[in-house]
Amino acid sequence: MTTYKGINGFAVQSVATDPSPLDEGQVWYNNATYAFKLASVTTAGTFASGGSLPVALYGTMAAGTQTAAVNSGGYIGSGPTVAGKRATTNEYDGTSWTSSNDMNTARWNGKGTGIQTASLAISGTNPSTPGTSTDSESYNGSTWTTTSSLNTNHVQGEASGTQTAALMFAGGNPITAATESWNGSSWTSLPATMNTARIYLAGCGTQTAALGFGGLLNFNSAPNYPVTAATESYNGTSWTTVNSLNTSRGYLAGAGTQTAAVAFGGWTPPGGILLSSTELWNGTSWTSNPTGLSTARNLLAGAGTQTLALAIGGNSPVSAATEEWTGPGSPVTQTITTS
C-alpha cells in the first residue's frame, strides 16, 4: 500500500505549533489542536483582520514588514486642527500594536520607509497649520532623532528605500515632480523628475529601483479632484512611465518592490468614492485581484511585501483597523477534514 512515508521518505511530523515558514504540499499533525494540516497555495490574494491601532487615525506613516512594522504620526478626529496631529509611535509584531516613544514633531501625511528598527519618517504637515514640515526623523527601534531637512516640500509625497539610502518624490504645495535622495546624513536634489507631478500617491522599492503609482493631480476641483492611474519606474537615474493602474485613484497605499508590488484602497471621483479594490504589479502590468480590503478607505498606510503586507488606519470614517494581506501564490495553512 502506498504511504505518505513511502512517497516522501519521511513520516508526517507531530508538532505542538504549526511550522513557519511553510512549503507547498507540507503535511503535519498539530497535537495541540488534534488536527492534520496542509500547506497549500493561495490562488488569489486576501485581506484578514489584524490587531487594531490603539487609536483611530489617518494620514499616518508606516515602515517594515507584516510581522515587524512601525507606525508613526497621523491625524485623529476630523478637522483638520493643530490638536489633531499626532507624534505617537506604535510597533506591530504580527498580532498587536505596542506603544513606543513619540516622534519629535507631530505630523501627518508624511511617509515612512525602512524597517521597524531602522526607519525614516519624512516630511508631513506639522502643528503649524497650514505649515508643512521638510524635516525627516530617524527611528532606531526605540527613539527618534531629527535629521537634515529636505530641499523641497514633499508633503503628501512618497518614499522608498532604507534608513541610510532613501528616495523621496512628488507631493508638495504647490505640487512637485521633484526627486531627492538621502545618504544617511543629508538630502540631495536630483536632476530626475517624475513625468507626472502628483500628491497622495503610493510607492515602494529602493533608492535606485523605485515605483510610484496613482495620486491626485491637483486640489482645484473639489470635491471631484482629478486622479491618475499613471505608474512610473525609477532606475537610479531617471523616471519612466510604464503601464497604468486599472483604476485611477488617489489617497491609496501600497507595498512591495519595483517588480512585485501591491496597491490597495484609495479614493476616486465623482463625489469621492472610497475604494477597497486591490491590484498586483508584476514588473510589467497591473492585474486586479478578485478581493480587496474588508473596509473601503482612503488616507491609509501600507507596509510589507507583495505577498505579505499591512493596510493601516485610514479615513471616512477615521479607522483604527489593521488588515493583513496574503498575496496569491503564498503558502497558507488548511485543516484536513473528512468532508
Of 159, 74, 67, 50, nearest to 116 by C-alpha is: 67
pLDDT given for residue 233 in this prediction: 98
Query: Which CB contacts under 8 angstroms, 24+ apart, belong to 332-337?
Result: 332/22, 332/39, 332/40, 332/41, 332/42, 333/18, 333/22, 333/37, 333/38, 333/39, 334/37, 334/38, 334/39, 334/40, 335/35, 335/36, 335/37, 335/38, 336/27, 336/35, 336/36, 336/37, 336/38
Low-confidence residues in the chain, pLDDT < 70: 1-10, 24, 41-42, 78-83, 127-131, 331, 338-339
Q: Which amino acid is at 94?
A: G
Distances (CA, A) of 111 to 3, 77, 107, 220, 263: 54, 20, 10, 24, 16
Cα 335 to chain center, whole Å?
30
pLDDT given for residue 82 in this prediction: 58
Q: pLDDT tens digits, residue range 258-299?
A: 999 999 999 999 988 999 999 999 999 999 999 999 999 999
Domain locations in the chain?
4-41, 46-326
CATH of domain 46-326: 2.120.10.80
Q: pLDDT tens digits, residue range 88-124?
A: 999 999 999 999 999 999 999 999 999 999 999 999 9
pLDDT given for residue 79 in this prediction: 58
pLDDT given for residue 228 in this prediction: 98
pTM for this entry:
0.86
pLDDT given for residue 42 in this prediction: 67
